[in-house]
Amino acid sequence: MRDGVGLYTDSQVSLIHDIKHIPTRNEVYAAQAIDQRAGLLDQENILNEAAIDPYTFIRDAYLLHRNSLVYDGNPPREKLDDPDSPEPEATPSAPAAPKGKTTPGS
């Protein structure tokens, strides 16, 4: 929804939007779309060579990108541990001295 509003707003302030001759304006939009697609061909080749499952790769990349945009490039760190696992217990760094006895140097 947010991207749709932004896309509409961007198209309204675009110089292409000011072209009054509709066939020319449509040709410019088509040329812009073809240019954008041609620019993505190299990336598509890299994707097909590098990713085992292109759908999963693109989905995860999209979600990471959106998360970064939502948090202005500083998303919160994700907890990688299993949320159902218990927290590890704290272990004392040194054993406590028995009561009534003193330790050397005290």
Considering only residues 10 and 18, tell me which one the structure prediction assigns the higher pLDDT.
18
3 in a domain, yes or no? no
Count of residues making up the chain: 106
∠ Cα 19 4 48 (to 5°): 100
39 in a domain, yes or no? yes
Domain containing residue 37: 21-75
CB 47 within 8 A of CB 57: yes
Across the chain, what does the average pLDDT equal?
78
Is residue 87 over pLDDT 70? no
30 in a domain, yes or no? yes
CB 54 within 8 A of CB 62: no
53 in a domain, yes or no? yes
In 3D, which of 3, 35, 32, 2 has the Cα closest to residue 15?
32
27 in a domain, yes or no? yes
pTM of the model: 0.46
Tokens representing 33 are 């779309």
Is residue 37 over pLDDT 80? yes
99 in a domain, yes or no? no
Per the structure, how many domains does the chain have? 1
61 in a domain, yes or no? yes
∠ Cα 58 64 66 (to 5°): 100
7 in a domain, yes or no? no
